[in-house]
Structures are given as C-alpha cells and as structure tokens.
Structure 1
Amino acid sequence: MSNSHPSAGILDRLNKASSAEEFFSLLGVEYDPGIVNVARLHILKRMGQYLAKEQFAGAAEPDIRARCKAMLEQAYADFVASSPIDQRVFKVLKDAVADHDKPMAFVPLSELK
C-alpha cells in the first residue's frame, strides 16, 4: 500500500482528521450541523470510547470502515437523543453529578470569623 492519502487505511485517515466534520465525511455519515456544533467533542469522545472496545487486528479494510461508521453513527445518535450534560462523557461532567450526591457541609454563620 502506498502512503498516499486516498489509499491510506481508514483508521490512519481518521487519526489524521482535524475536525468532527471530517470524521463524518470520511465515513459517509449524515449529520445535523446544529447538533455537531453543540456536541462535537462529546461525539468524538464517545466514538473513541466505542473504538477502544474494538479489536481490528486481522479485519479487512471494508469491515473496519463499516464498524467505524457504525460507531460514529451510534455516538452521534447518543447526542441526538440527549444532551452532552445527560451523556456525561467527560470527567468534569461526571464529577459535577457526583458532587450533587454528596451532602453539603453546614457551617453556621456564628462559626465564621
């Protein structure tokens, strides 16, 4: 296989992609720009979580492409159905919920100096 961009494997091409829109274009996934504008990092992070669970060793390029496309479609669908806040793919959002579950410490005003 040559090193030219069109013949590079889909995983290599996705690795070099510089925008969410490029991921959608490379994999041929339709999307609403309004949803991608709000949740682009969340969608790509979720896709990365799905990719991390996959084993591609020995798989044929068409199969790898189809599986990547399905993962992007699923990640995108996650954010069509609910918001980034609801999905909580980033640690800061998970921690925000965890803090709400903890009882708040009470300090009476008489204790403040």
Structure 2
Amino acid sequence: MADGILAQLNKASAAEEFFTLLGVDYDPRIINVARLHILRRMGQYLAGEDFSGVADETVATRCKTVLERAYADFVASSPIDQRVFKVLKDAVAPQPNKGPTLVQIGTLK
C-alpha cells in the first residue's frame, strides 16, 4: 500500500510529523530536547516487529503504542539517563585501569 502508515512515516522528516501522523500528544519542550533519542528508541522497540501481511490500521496502532512508550521513557528521564546512542553509552562504560606508561631511559634520545 503506497500511502500506508509505514510509507507516511518513512517520508516524515521531523519528530513532530511522527507524533502527528500517529495521533500522539506531546510536549514541545520534551521534543526539543530529546527528538532524536525518542525516534531512536522507537526504532529500537520496532526492530523486532514484523508487519508483513498486517492490516494498516493494526500497524498504525502498534506504531502509536511504541511511540507513546518511547516518548514516556524521555518524559520520565533525560537522554543522558536513557543512553540510546553509543557515544552516551561509551561515556559511562568502565575504562580499563591503565597504569602509567613506563618508558625506559635508554630508549630516549
């Protein structure tokens, strides 16, 4: 279906369009801070979904539920707390305990 909900979402270029297409209410202040994080989390939640042969209304309902869930994650906490992007995960990953680098005096010129 060329004009199905997945095709419409695929054409969306702003987070607000996702919310509007799926009929999800949102606070613009939260979207302004966490738009990419919310959409990334939505994608993570949808990654396991198989919409093959599923009616468009059912797909829209499932997508709406997933967007509401992703949005709720960032209403309850910040993008820093959620860490959906690798750079934020790496920022808190335990670093190997490296001792000081020893350089032998004979190797210095």
Alignment pair present for 1:105 and 2:98 = yes
The structure whose Rg is larger is 2
Alignment pair present for 1:89 and 2:89 = no
TM-superposed deviation, 1:104: 4.3
TM-superposed deviation, 1:103: 4.6
Amino acid at match of 1:61: D
What is the distance in 2 between the residues matched to 1:21 and 1:77?
A: 15
Unaligned segments of structure 1, at least 5 residues? none
Residue equivalent to 1:9: 4
SS in structure 2 at match of 1:31: coil
What is the distance in 2 between the residues matched to 1:88 and 1:16?
A: 26
What is the distance in 1 between the residues matched to 2:48 and 2:75?
A: 22
TM superposition score normalised by structure 1: 0.84
Match 2:70 to one of 72, 75, 78? 75
| Count of residue correspondences | 103
TM superposition score normalised by structure 2: 0.87
Alignment pair present for 1:63 and 2:58 = yes
SS in structure 2 at match of 1:72: helix
TM-superposed deviation, 1:51: 1.2
Identity of aligned residues (%): 69
Residue equivalent to 1:18: 13
CA RMSD of aligned residues (A): 1.8
